[in-house]
Amino acid sequence: MLNEKVAGLLNTQINKEFFSAYLYLDFANFYMDEGLSGFANWYQIQAQEERDHALLFIQYLQNNDMKVTLETIDKPSTEMQVPMDPLKAGLAHEQYVTELIHTIYEAAYQVKDFRTMQFLDWFVKEQGEEETNASDLIKKMELFGSDPKGLYLLDQEMAARVYTAPSLVL
């Protein structure tokens, strides 16, 4: 049976992952309004990933006979004026999620919950990739975003992203 504190943090993380999906859908909507459908595609896929992360946490809790409690998902409140705004907000958000995952990991470590730590190992690695991707998008926008042709090509690159479901075995 999972430690109560660890189970509570895992349950809270479900809501955080669903919020991340909402946030990225909001970013996608912003980019569609800006005529940047490639960036919209990138963030729609990002939202799918976040939703799947939430489902993995749900499945993990259920596999450990723990009750799952779904909470209200807050409306995103990020102010976006220019195409760089969602990118910077996205990096900050991924850094926040990394902190959340580390907090759960630390709680599991304190009670020697090695199974949960092993489950979280995938998320630790995933967050490293998420932060790198977010940082790379900012660098690309800084390099090419002020040039209309460069922005067009960057948007085309973002349009080529396809969704792949996570391959985490529970």
Per-residue pLDDT tens digits for 90-130:
999 999 999 999 999 999 999 999 999 999 999 999 999 99
pLDDT, position 170: 61
Considering the domain 4-72+81-159 in this protein, what is its CATH number? Answer: 1.20.1260.10
Taking 3-state DSSP, the helix, strand and coil percentages for the chain, each rounded to the nearest 5, stand at 75, 0, 25
Model pTM score: 0.94
Per-residue pLDDT tens digits for 14-62:
999 999 999 999 999 999 999 999 999 999 999 999 999 999 999 999 9
pLDDT, position 83: 96
The residue written with tokens 């907090």 in the block is 103
Q: Does the pLDDT at position 153 exceed 70?
A: yes
Q: Does the pLDDT at position 165 exceed 90?
A: no
Q: Does the pLDDT at position 6 exceed 80?
A: yes
Q: Does the pLDDT at position 3 exceed 70?
A: yes
pLDDT, position 1: 81
End-to-end CA gap in the chain = 16
Integer angstrom CA distances of residue 106 from 63, 68, 156: 21, 21, 40
Confidence of residue 169 (pLDDT cuts 50, 70, 90): low
Q: Does the pLDDT at position 166 exceed 90?
A: no
Q: Residue 130 and residue 92: Cα distance in Å, rounded?
A: 11
The residue written with tokens 């006979």 in the block is 65
Q: Does the pLDDT at position 168 exceed 70?
A: no
Is the Cβ–Cβ distance between 124 and 105 less than 8 Å? yes
The three-state DSSP-derived secondary structure of 86-140 is HHHHHHHHHHHHHHHHHHHHHHHHHCCCHHHHHHHHHHHHHHHHHHHHHHHHHHH
Domain residue ranges in the chain: 4-72+81-159
pLDDT, position 128: 97
